[in-house]
Amino acid sequence: MVIAIGFEGSANKIGIGIIRDGEVLANVRKTYITPPGSGFLPKETAEHHRNQVLGLIREALDVSKIYPNEIDVVCYTKGPGMAPPLLAVAIVARTIAQLWNKPILGVNHCIGHIEMGRLITGAQNPTVLYVSGGNTQVIAYSNKRYRIFGETIDIAIGNCLDRFARVIKISNDPSPGYNIEQLAKKGKKYYTLPYAVKGMDVSFSGILSEIGRKALPQKATKKRKLDQEDVNELPSHEDLCYSLQETIFAMLVEITERAMAHCGSNEVLIVGGVGCNERLQEMMGIMCEERGAKLFATDERFCIDNGIMIAHAGYEMFRTGTRMKWNDATITQRFRTDEVEINWEVGKV
């Protein structure tokens, strides 16, 4: 039996999770929410995490009814992410490991998402779509690595959504993406946006500029005059949110389908913060049905960054013999999914 505690704080969420052999004992989280029209910055986010982390550890211990001496391994997010918040959380994890005299393991954030998704949904060897505020990747397992088949070549999909939410100044509570999703449900008219799939990769920054121009034509530059259609009537926020979602989700479904065809896979797993968008799940579901494939997705407790996914990925690593030297318990802003060797079993190989 292995009990692992996980510390996650690579972006604006700070989460602590405790897991015992795949059984979730505690999963607590706090989100740093900024006012409408503004995003979260590294320094302020780190300060938020520093203020919240100790209270959350206490809460996680209370909820799980686990004593520190029962814990086998302390896991934390090594990267990728913003350095100041990562560092704040890593310092606490290291101090805790020293105080309780437990081994420490740095976990790749993306691997955390994938393993958590597999644990919750029971997907065996899925094609993974990992979509969040900082990452957009299509991933499949092959020969001891999670290989990246396609990804964004500029900004992440969640970043595109968050920044559009800032353009039209909607609330960041509980999350900008959730509020866009609610507005989009009321959208009726589809505005044409660029569709930017480049081979297996996608691009969102041009789409963001274009929809920004549509939302605020007064800010558009003279260089790129708007279509007559757009000037006559200002598009509603609902229609814009709807058009944006439909376009960018269609791009994701396309590259996911191509990755599935390439791998001969009949399972799709959606993970990451954007993965709890029900419209994305619906669109992916239609594609899967047409192909006779199965879709796996989770809800916001496990999709959005959380401590339990770090604990679980750390548990898999620990169980299969991965150990970390103390001097390697650092953080790194860049840490690609395919840098991690996977020593545990993933489906049928």
Partner 1 sequence: MEDIKVSLVIPFPTKRAAQIAYDVLRIDPEPKRNHIKKHYELNENNLKVEFIGDIAKNVRVALTNFYESIILCVETQKQFGPPVSEEYSHY
Q: Which parts are annotated binding residues for substrate?
A: 130-134, 162, 177, 181, 277
Contact predicate 245/277, CB 8 Å: yes
- How many residues lie near partner 1 (CB under 8 A)? 32
How far from each other are the two terminal CA atoms of the chain, in whole angstroms?
26
Pick from 26, 88, 240, 276: which binds partner 1 (CB under 8 A)?
88
Which positions make up the binding site?
Answer: 109, 113, 130-134, 162, 177, 181, 277, 305
DSSP per-residue codes, 114-135? HHHHHHHH--SSPEEEEE-SS-
* Site membership for partner 1, residue 286 (CB under 8 A): no
Of the two residues 114 and 324, which places its CB atom closer to partner 1 in the complex? 324
User: Within a 10 A sphere around the Cβ of 23, how many other Cβ atoms?
Assistant: 10
Window contacting partner 1 (CB under 8 A); options: 27-35, 45-53, 117-125, 275-283: 45-53
The rounded distance, in Å, linking the Cα atoms of 280 and 204 is 16
* Site membership for partner 1, residue 119 (CB under 8 A): no
Tell me how far, at minimum, the Cβ of 327 lies from partner 1, in Å: 5
Window contacting partner 1 (CB under 8 A); options: 161-169, 229-237, 269-277, 329-337: 329-337
Of the two residues 13 and 213, which places its CB atom closer to partner 1 in the complex? 13
CA R_g for the chain: 21
The rounded distance, in Å, linking the Cα atoms of 141 and 337 is 11
Contact predicate 177/171, CB 8 Å: no
* Site membership for partner 1, residue 41 (CB under 8 A): no
Phi then psi for residue 102, to 5 deg, are: -120, 150
For partner 1, the binding residues (CB under 8 A) are: 46, 50, 53-54, 57-58, 68-69, 87-88, 90-92, 94-104, 323-327, 329-331
